[in-house]
């Protein structure tokens, strides 16, 4: 229960003395005996008496306090990423030697979110369900290289999306079955992005050979609507322009603040835009409705920002939305994904991965992005924490001594000069000259 609520400084949760009583889940206990997560199976909950959440606005002090042991868990900012995480030869992320020496461990969870680039389907150039506009969108989807984006801008923390549904949600398929055949080939047991030549071919079929509109003979210029951002995002936008340049398409960045951006989307004035979605509940409906025609932004003020409206998809959506998870539902979802991939109303973007670091004394943690009532399962070994804190943070006093010595030594010549001045003539010759001048 919340016993101290000072949102400017900290919030404190304490064990409720009248808790109705629960025990740690036993689950598939026999098969999981080796897992640390099952050490407490059957024990009465909760394990922690008091949890204090501090408000620390800046990432640098927050990170350093985690390293000193004053915070039990921490996310990883991009500044400290290389210090904390290393990627092994197999592409797996582990903590660095420095971290593992401190007993810090890494847990990762794929967020039930998706970041995408949408095409406004009402736009005369990139929108519509005609064959040529479809091919234009498919060509662009191929050249925007999200593998590169993830490695440059997200420190590898993400997976390229094959469709709107995030991993871990019913309807998402892994491996060959889940691959988007419009953008990827399946090669050597992994998805491999189609070549730029394929994209150029599609672009030519769409009526823009080498980025030139055959009807007007003018170069193809597209507009990318984003929210006004700081200098650190400029490189992301430069990167995006570079992707379009692969097809000789000129991308004009139209940056505004978030209010204006939302206005543009509501009125359907954007052409290509960047947005994201974080699931409210773990069901495919919560992703697929983002492309449901009757829920489009323009006219119905829904969440379908791309204003995608395909009657075939809409019928399947209505059929799927209230079904229980089953093979029939999966089949309908597969069908819907096929339609979506072909129409490409979004560049599917990527699903971010969340990394979190935990100290050795903090156990029973299995991060997930959906349920938030897990604190009762967590366990803290406060003795170990106290010991480590003391061990890691022994005060170093010699710099203070050095500072004092330097100060005293520095004073000696000053005293000498002072004495000379007091004993000598009232005004020195140089000063006399200065005053007359």
Partner 1 sequence: MEQELVIQRNEVRLVNYIIRRMLYAIPILIGVNLITFTLFFVVNTPDDMARMHLGIKRVTPEAILKWKQERGYDKSLIYNSAEKGADKFTNTIFFEKSTSMFVFEFGRADDGRDIAHEIKTRMLPSLAIALPVFILGLVSYITFALIMVFFRATYIDLWGVVLCVAIMSISLLFYVIGGQFLISKLWHLVPISGFSGGLDIGKFLVLPVIIGVFSGSGASARWYRTIFLEEMGKDYVRTARAKGLSESIVLFRHVLGNALIPILTGAVVLIPSLFMGSLILESFFGIPGLGSYTIDAISSQDFAIVRAMVFLGSFFYIIGLILTDISYTLVDPRIRLE
Distance from C-alpha of 368 to C-alpha of 115, rounded to nearest angstrom: 18
Q: Does 79 contact partner 1 by CB under 8 A?
A: no
| Residues 100/88, Cβ–Cβ less than 8 Å | no
* Residue 262 lies near partner 1 (rule: CB under 8 A): yes
Cα 237 to chain centroid distance, Å, stands at: 17
Indicate the residue among 218 and 401 with the shorter CB distance to partner 1.
401
At closest approach, how far in Å is the CB of 131 from partner 1?
A: 33
Using the minimum distance from each CB to partner 1, give the nearer residue, 124 or 437.
437
- Name the residue nearer to partner 1 (CB basis): 218 or 396: 396
**Closest distance between partner 1 and the C-beta of residue 297, in Å?**
11
Nearest to 161 by CA among 347, 322, 406: 347
- Footprint (CB under 8 A) of partner 1, residues 215-244: none
Element counts in the chain: helices (H) and strands (E): 15, 17
By CB under 8 A, name the one of 259, 371, 373, 383 that touches partner 1: 259
Query: First and final CA of the chain: distance in angstroms?
Result: 78
- In 3D space, the residue among 70, 140, 78 whose CA is nearest the CA of residue 385 turns out to be 70
**Do residues 251 and 241 touch, judged by C-beta distance below 8 A?**
yes
- Binding range to partner 1, per CB under 8 A, among 140-148, 325-333, 372-380, 428-436: 428-436
CA distance linking residue 87 with residue 181, whole number of Å: 28
Q: Is 406 in the site for partner 1 (CB under 8 A)?
A: no
Kindly tell me which residue out of 108, 328, 386, 431 binds partner 1, with binding defined by CB under 8 A: 431
Q: Which is nearer to partner 1, 39 or 50 (CB)?
A: 50
Closest contact distance (angstroms) between CB of 262 and partner 1 is 7
Taking CB under 8 A as the rule, which mask of x and - marks residues 366-405 in contact with partner 1?
Answer: ---------------------------xxxxx-xx-----
Site for partner 1 in 293-352 (CB under 8 A): 301-303
Q: Which of 55, 176, 229, 366 binds partner 1 (CB under 8 A)?
A: 55
Do the Cβ atoms of 370 and 282 come closer than 8 Å? yes
CA distance 335 to 87: 36
Segment contacting partner 1 (CB under 8 A): 24-32, 54-62, 186-194, 230-238? 54-62
Distances (CA, A) of 435 to 342, 420, 421, 422, 431: 88, 21, 18, 20, 6
What are the two backbone dihedrals, phi and then psi, of residue 280, each rounded to the nearest 5 degrees?
-85, -35
User: Which position among 20, 30, 34, 57 is part of the footprint of partner 1 (CB under 8 A)?
Assistant: 57
Interacting span for partner 1 (CB under 8 A) from 32-40, 81-89, 174-182, 422-430: 422-430
Q: Please, which residue, 253 or 400, has the CB nearer to partner 1?
A: 400
123 Cβ neighbours under 8 A, 6+ residues apart: 268, 271
Q: Tell the smallest beta-carbon distance from residue 3 to partner 1 (Å).
A: 15
Q: Is 348 left (phi over 0), alpha (psi -120 to 50) or beta?
A: alpha
Q: Which residue of 42, 61, 175, 294 would you call a contact of partner 1, by CB under 8 A? A: 61
Q: How far is the CB of 56 from partner 1 (least distance, A)?
A: 5
Cβ contacts of 403 within 8 Å, gap of 6 or more? none
Which among 167, 160, 165, 166 is positioned nearest to 183, based on CA atoms?
160
Q: Which two tokens stand for residue 326?
A: 């089953």
**What residue ranges in 315-378 does DSSP mark as E strands?**
346-358, 362-363
Pairing relationship of beta strands 85-87 and 93-95 according to DSSP bridges: antiparallel
Q: Quick one: which segment of 99-107, 156-164, 197-205, 254-262 binds partner 1 (CB under 8 A)?
A: 254-262
Pairing label, strands 113-119, 73-75: unpaired
Q: Which is nearer to partner 1, 32 or 300 (CB)?
A: 300
- In the complex, minimum distance from the CB of residue 6 to partner 1, in angstroms, rounded to a whole number: 7
Q: Nearer Cβ to partner 1, position 57 or 187?
A: 57
**By the rule CB under 8 A, 427 interacts with partner 1:** yes
Whether a cis peptide bond, with omega within 30° of 0, leads into 46 is yes
Residues lying near partner 1 in the complex (CB under 8 A) are found at 6, 8-9, 54-58, 60-61, 64-65, 67-68, 70, 257, 259, 262, 280, 301-303, 393-397, 399-400, 413-414, 417-418, 421-422, 426-427, 430-431, 435
């Amino acid at each position: 229960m919340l016993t101290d609520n000072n949102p400017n400084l900290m919030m404190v949760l304490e064990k409720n003395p009248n808790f109705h009583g629960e025990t740690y889940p036993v689950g598939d206990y026999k098969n999981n005996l080796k897992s640390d997560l099952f050490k407490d199976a059957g024990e009465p909950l909760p394990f922690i008496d008091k949890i204090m959440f501090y408000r620390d606005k800046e990432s640098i002090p927050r990170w350093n306090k985690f390293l000193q042991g004053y915070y039990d868990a921490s996310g990883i900012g991009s500044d400290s990423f290389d210090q904390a995480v290393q990627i092994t030869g197999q592409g797996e992320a582990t903590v660095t030697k420095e971290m593992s020496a401190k007993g810090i461990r890494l847990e990762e969870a794929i967020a039930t979110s998706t970041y995408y680039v949408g095409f406004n389907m009402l736009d005369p150039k990139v929108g519509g369900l005609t064959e040529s506009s479809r091919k234009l969108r498919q060509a662009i989807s191929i050249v925007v290289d999200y593998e590169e984006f993830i490695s440059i801008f997200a420190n590898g923390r993400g997976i390229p999306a094959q469709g709107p549904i995030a991993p871990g949600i019913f309807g998402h398929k892994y491996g060959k079955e889940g691959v988007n055949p419009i953008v990827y080939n399946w090669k050597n047991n992994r998805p491999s992005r189609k070549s730029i030549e394929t994209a150029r071919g599609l672009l030519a079929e769409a009526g823009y050979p080498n980025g030139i509109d055959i009807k007007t003979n003018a170069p193809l210029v597209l507009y990318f609507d984003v929210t006004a951002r700081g200098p650190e995002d400029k490189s992301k936008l430069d990167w995006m322009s570079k992707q379009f340049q692969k097809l000789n398409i000129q991308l004009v960045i139209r940056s505004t603040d978030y209010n204006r951006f939302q206005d543009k989307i509501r009125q359907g004035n954007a052409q290509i835009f960047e947005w994201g979605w974080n699931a409210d509940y773990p069901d495919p409906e919560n992703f697929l409705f983002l492309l449901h025609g009757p829920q489009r932004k323009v006219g119905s003020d829904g969440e379908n920002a791309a204003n995608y409206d395909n009657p075939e998809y809409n019928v399947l959506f209505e059929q799927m939305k209230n079904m229980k998870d089953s093979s029939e539902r999966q089949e309908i979802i597969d069908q819907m994904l096929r339609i979506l991939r072909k129409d490409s109303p979004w560049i599917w973007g990527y699903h971010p991965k969340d990394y979190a670091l935990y100290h050795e004394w903090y156990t029973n943690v299995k991060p997930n992005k959906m349920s938030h009532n897990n604190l009762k399962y967590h366990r803290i070994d406060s003795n170990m924490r106290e010991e480590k804190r003391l061990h890691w943070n022994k005060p170093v006093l010699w710099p203070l001594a050095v500072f004092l010595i330097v100060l005293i030594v520095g004073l000696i010549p000053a005293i000498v000069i002072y004495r000379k001045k007091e004993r000598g003539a009232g005004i020195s010759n140089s000063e006399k000259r200065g005053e007359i001048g």
